[in-house]
Amino acid sequence: MITIHSTYNFPPFLKGIVRDIRPVWLLEELGMPYQVKWNDVQKAEHKSPEHVRHNPFGKVPAMSDGDFSLFESAAIVNYIADKAGKLIPKAGTRERAVHDQWCFAAVNTVEQPVFDVFVCDTFAKDTPGVAERRANSLANAKARMAVLDKELSDRAYIAGSAFSAADVMMVTVLAYARAPEILADAPHVRAYLERCTSRPAYQKALALQGKGPG
Ligand SMILES: N[C@@H](CCC(=O)N[C@@H](CS)C(=O)NCC(=O)O)C(=O)O
């Protein structure tokens, strides 16, 4: 069975932010059996030799499937969808290339500025130069949203007309856009987020996040 290595005991404002929601959401969409290995962040269990066996960076998520381990949320999400043979185009097709393009766009092109605004508003809010840093990241985040808004103006999902694993990646990246300015001029992105986060599988994954073993 697939095990998702997650964390608990983190501050409540990180609910919906911690990246372990990505594989858990997908597993819920697929109705695949899985279990969660909870790591207590207060005890730095995600830095323990046991966890580092699955993710050498000491981060979450990690996944294990029998004796096979994987880290990086996008790689885990694609592995799980491939294993199910659902919510992802067949490997080697153009459709799959486009799907993967949007996964990389999520974690590479969109995540950085959107996440940095979140960091400026939270962890880094009292650091020197934060106002300038935030203004720069906000401008970049809004520029990315303008592109996404155009893309999403004529289709319901990021890689086409059907929900796919690429939406799990894009939506969970867009969840970092807690500063209202980021999405203010992106009505199609807002509608897309609403469409995807209202899915029962997302709501289940969100409810499970950070729950811990208790
Ligand atoms: N690129 C990685 C990022 C993983 C990552 O930064 N995870 C955070 C939680 S969202 C983490 O484990 N932070 C705890 C730490 O670095 O100690 C992925 O997408 O899986």
CATH number of the domain bearing residue 159: 1.20.1050.10
pLDDT at 55: 98
Number of domains in the chain: 2
pLDDT tens, position by position, 82-128: 999 999 999 999 999 999 999 999 999 999 999 999 999 999 999 99
88 CA to middle of ligand 1, Å? Answer: 24
Identify whether 213 is part of a domain: no
Q: Are residues 99 and 186 in the same domain?
A: yes
pLDDT at 196: 98
Query: Mean pLDDT across the stretch 117-142?
Result: 98
Nearest protein Cα to ligand 1, atom 14: 59
Q: How far apart are CA 55 and CA 137, in angstroms?
A: 29
pLDDT at 76: 98
**Inter-axis angle of helices 200-208 and 21-30, nearest 10:** 140
Q: Are residues 79 and 127 in the same domain?
A: no
pLDDT tens, position by position, 7-44: 999 999 999 999 999 999 999 999 999 999 999 999 99
Q: Are residues 108 and 186 in the same domain?
A: yes
Q: Are residues 140 and 192 in the same domain?
A: yes
Nearest protein Cα to ligand 1, atom 9: 18
* 3-class state of residue 160 by DSSP: strand
Identify whether 167 is part of a domain: yes
Q: How far apart are CA 153 and CA 121, in angstroms?
A: 29
Identify whether 127 is part of a domain: yes
Confidence band of 214 (pLDDT split at 50, 70, 90): confident
pLDDT tens, position by position, 173-187: 999 999 999 999 999
Look up residue 214 and give its two tokens.
């208790």
Q: Are residues 194 and 116 in the same domain?
A: yes
pLDDT at 3: 98
* 3-class state of residue 36 by DSSP: strand
pLDDT at 152: 98
Ligand 1 residue neighbourhood (C-beta within 6 Å): 18-19, 46, 58-61, 72-73, 107
Q: Are residues 70 and 111 in the same domain?
A: no
Identify whether 80 is part of a domain: yes
pLDDT at 22: 98
Q: How far apart are CA 52 and CA 157, in angstroms?
A: 35
Q: Are residues 169 and 109 in the same domain?
A: yes
Identify whether 179 is part of a domain: yes
pLDDT tens, position by position, 35-65: 999 999 999 999 999 999 999 999 999 999 9
State the chain's mean pLDDT as an integer. 98
Q: Are residues 33 and 79 in the same domain?
A: yes
Nearest protein Cα to ligand 1, atom 3: 72
CATH number of the domain encompassing residue 33:
3.40.30.10
Boundaries of domain holding 57: 2-88+201-208
Q: Let me know: does 80 contact 65? Beta carbons within 8 Å.
A: no
Mutate to test the pocket of ligand 1, among 7, 19, 168, 173 (most ligand atoms within 8 A of CB): 19
Identify whether 70 is part of a domain: yes
Q: Are residues 17 and 78 in the same domain?
A: yes
Identify whether 214 is part of a domain: no
Identify whether 154 is part of a domain: yes
Look up residue 207 and give its two tokens.
């409810």
Nearest protein Cα to ligand 1, atom 6: 59
Q: Are residues 121 and 57 in the same domain?
A: no
Is 99 exposed, middle or buried, given 0-12, 13-18 or 19+ CB atoms closer than 10 A?
Answer: buried
- Find, among 206, 138, 211, the residue nearest to 171 by Cα: 206
Q: Are residues 76 and 132 in the same domain?
A: no
Q: Are residues 54 and 104 in the same domain?
A: no
